[in-house]
Amino acid sequence: MFLCFAVHKVAVKPTGYKLYITNLSHNKLLTLARDGSILATFTDPELKWPCGVNVTPAGQVLVVCEGP
């Protein structure tokens, strides 16, 4: 059985212009425009198994990780 965790969680900026997507299998946070184009990719050694993402009304991006 092959499991793919390309997109795990999605959050949308209050303005609706940016989408934030966690990628479990590559330990990344992607920022996409509404048209699907990639605006930014965030990786960090401390970002392990990003299982949740939320955007506050002020526009702050919060990411929850499960890794050790």
pTM of the model: 0.78
Q: Distance between CA atoms of 38 and 19, rounded to whole angstroms?
A: 10
pLDDT in tens, the chain (68 residues): 444 456 667 677 777 788 888 888 888 999 989 888 999 999 988 888 888 889 999 889 989 888 66
Q: Cβ distance 54 to 10 under 8 Å?
A: no
Q: Quick one: pLDDT at residue 41?
A: 93
Q: Quick one: pLDDT at residue 1?
A: 42
Q: Quick one: pLDDT at residue 42?
A: 93
Q: Which of 40, 48, 39 is nearest to 8 (CA)?
A: 48
Q: Quick one: pLDDT at residue 40?
A: 94
